[in-house]
Amino acid sequence: MTPTVVATPVVTTRTVTETQKIAYQTRTVNDSSLPKGTRKVTTRGVTGVKTLTYQVTLTDGVQTAKKLVRSQITKAPVTQVVRVGTKVTQQCDPNYSGACVPIASDVDCAGGSGNGPAYVDGPVRVIGDDKYDLDRDGDGIACDT
């Protein structure tokens, strides 16, 4: 009978470095200088990087253990900043100039006897159809009395 030879396993360790992406956050800021509903990116977001260092143990060339020995942020993510407009802009009727005549179901001259719901401080030049009948004397200038 021949003696059995038991091979001693070969155990080695090595250091392995990996990188991981770090997602950036997005911060939304209300901005009263931008029209309502508009969005504007003022700071572009940048993905960060984390470097992970592991001690890996190999037994006969096969990985048998992996231990994290260091985790370091090598590039910090940059938060994306998005401004969202909150400014409500009044729509003006294009048939008038010199002052903003709001677009409404009815518009009357401020200080007059009308019941609105919208009013305009005159004088206002009629440059199209006087659909709110603001130029009572027909001279092309509305709310001038």
Mean pLDDT of 84-110: 88
Is pLDDT at 139 greater than 80 in this prediction?
yes
How many other CB atoms are found less than 10 A from the CB of residue 136? 13
**Range 56-79 average pLDDT:** 96
Residue 11's Cα: distance from chain center in Å? 53
Q: Does the structure show a pLDDT above 90 at 2?
A: no
Sign of CA dihedral 26, 27, 30, 31: negative
Domain spans, the chain: 11-87, 90-145
Nearest to 39 by CA among 100, 96, 80: 80
- pTM, whole model, 2 decimals? 0.54
Among 3.30.70.3460, 2.20.230.10, 3.20.20.80, 3.40.50.720, what is the CATH number of 11-87?
Answer: 2.20.230.10
pLDDT of 13-39, one tens digit each? 999 999 999 999 999 999 999 888 899
